[in-house]
Amino acid sequence: MDSDGEKNNENEVINPDNHDSANFEDLELESRNNFLSSVLTGDAEKLRKCFADADDPNHEKANEWLMIRDDIGRNALFTAAILGHCEVIQELVTQGASVNEKTNRGYTPLHCAAAWGKLESLKTLVGLGANVQTNNFRDEKARDVAKRYSMVDCIEFLDWAESKMILELYIHNIQETVSDLEKSQGKLSKQDRAAFTNACRAKSEWLLLAQNASIEEFEEQKKQLEMTVDPIITKLTMVHASHGRKDFSPLNLLTYTEGGLNFLVLEKSRFHLPHVHWTLELYLTQGNCTFIHANQAAFLI
C-alpha cells in the first residue's frame, strides 16, 4: 500500500520525533503521552486539556506536537483522519492544524481518509474546508483514491462535495467578475444590479440548506444562475468593446494551455486556472479571436 498513509499498519500512521532527552521532566513526558494517546484513541476531551492552560509550560509543547511530522510528512491530523476520530480532527484543526496539509508526495488528510474508507472523516474534513480538488503526486483527487480502493460511499460523497464546491466557487467567481468589470467598464443598471444581486443571494441561501441536495440539483442551480448572469455580463462586455477600448488586445495577454486548449489570459487575471472549464463563459468576437470571459478574462484561441 502507499507509503503516504493510504493503507499502512495503524501503528505506523504517525511517527513523531522520539529523540527526547532523558532529562525531560516527567510531567512533560506525561503531557506528550496524553497528546498522542488522545489522538490514537479518539479522546477529544483529553486532547483539549493539552491545550487548555496557556500558562502551562506544556501548552507551547502541545503546539509543537501538533505539527510534528513523520519521515513522509504526516502529522497528527492524518492519524485522526485515517482512524476516523472526527472530534479529534475538529479539535486539531481548531488548535491550528491545516485541513489541507500535504505529505511529501501531495497526499492530504482527505486522500488518506478516502483510502481507508472513513466517510465520517471525509465529511468532517470537508466541513472544515478541505479542498476536494487537491491532487497528489499521481494527479489523483481524494475521489480517485477512494475509487482505487473501491470505497463506494466515499466516492459518492466526494462527488457530491465537489458539485457543491463548484457552485460555491461559481457564485464567488461571478461576483468578482462583475465587480471587476464594473470598475473598468461602467456600472450596471439598477435593474440588472438588482437581478444579479438577488440571483446570487438566492443561490447562496439555497446552498446553506442544501445538505440533502443531489448532484443534479447543484448543476441545475448553476444553470439557472448562468441564465440570469450571462446576459448581464454580455451587456457590460459589449459596451466595453463598443467604446473602442483595447484591453482585450492579444498584446496584453499571456498564453496558457489547459486540457489541450490554448488560452490567452490577461496579466492581471485573478481567476483560478484549474476551474476555467466550468467558470462563467461569455463569447465575444473581435478580429480573428474568439474570447471566453472567465472571472476577469480568459480567452480561447
Question: Last residue of some domain: 118, 150, 182?
Answer: 150
Residue 107: inside a domain: yes
Cβ proximity of 139 and 108 under 8 Å? no
Nearest to 2 by CA among 116, 86, 87: 116
Residue of higher predicted confidence among 256 and 277? 256
One domain, residues 31 and 110: yes
Question: Last residue of some domain: 195, 216, 242?
Answer: 242
CA 252/CA 277 separation, integer angstroms: 22
Per the DSSP assignment, residues forming a β-bridge with 261 are: 258
Nearest to 124 by CA among 87, 156, 75: 87
One domain, residues 291 and 205: no
CA 191/CA 188 separation, integer angstroms: 8
Q: What pLDDT, on the 0 to 100 scale, is given for residue 242?
A: 45
One domain, residues 28 and 117: yes
**Percent of residues, the chain, with pLDDT higher than 90:** 48
One domain, residues 144 and 39: yes
Q: Is the pLDDT of residue 168 over 90?
A: yes
One domain, residues 228 and 262: no
Binning pLDDT at 50, 70 and 90, where does residue 300 land? Answer: very low
Q: What pLDDT, on the 0 to 100 scale, is given for residue 67?
A: 86
98-113 mean pLDDT = 96
Cβ proximity of 143 and 123 under 8 Å? no
CA 30/CA 37 separation, integer angstroms: 10
Residue 5: inside a domain: no
Residue 168: inside a domain: yes
Residue of higher predicted confidence among 5 and 108? 108
Show the domain range for 123: 10-150
Residue of higher predicted confidence among 284 and 48? 48
Residue 4: inside a domain: no
Q: Is the pLDDT of residue 64 over 90?
A: no
CA 237/CA 243 separation, integer angstroms: 10
Q: Is the pLDDT of residue 274 over 70?
A: no
Cβ proximity of 30 and 98 under 8 Å? no
Cβ-Cβ contacts under 8 Å for 39 (sequence gap 6 or more)? 14, 47, 76, 79, 80, 85, 88, 92
One domain, residues 141 and 125: yes
Residue 60: inside a domain: yes
Nearest to 78 by CA among 116, 25, 22, 29: 116
One domain, residues 119 and 95: yes
For residue range 217-226, list pLDDT tens digits in order: 999 999 999 9
One domain, residues 186 and 92: no
Residue 287: inside a domain: yes
Residue 172: inside a domain: yes
116-142 mean pLDDT = 96
One domain, residues 86 and 199: no
- Structurally, how many domains does the chain consist of? 3
6-18 mean pLDDT = 47
Residue of higher predicted confidence among 124 and 68? 124
Q: What is the reported pTM?
A: 0.69
One domain, residues 188 and 261: no
Q: What pLDDT, on the 0 to 100 scale, is given for residue 55?
A: 62
118-125 mean pLDDT = 98
Residue 155: inside a domain: no
Residue of higher predicted confidence among 28 and 196? 196
CATH number at 225 reads: 1.20.1270.10
Question: Last residue of some domain: 91, 123, 150?
Answer: 150
Cβ proximity of 45 and 70 under 8 Å? no
Mean pLDDT, all residues of the chain: 76
CATH number at 47 reads: 1.25.40.20
136-158 mean pLDDT = 97
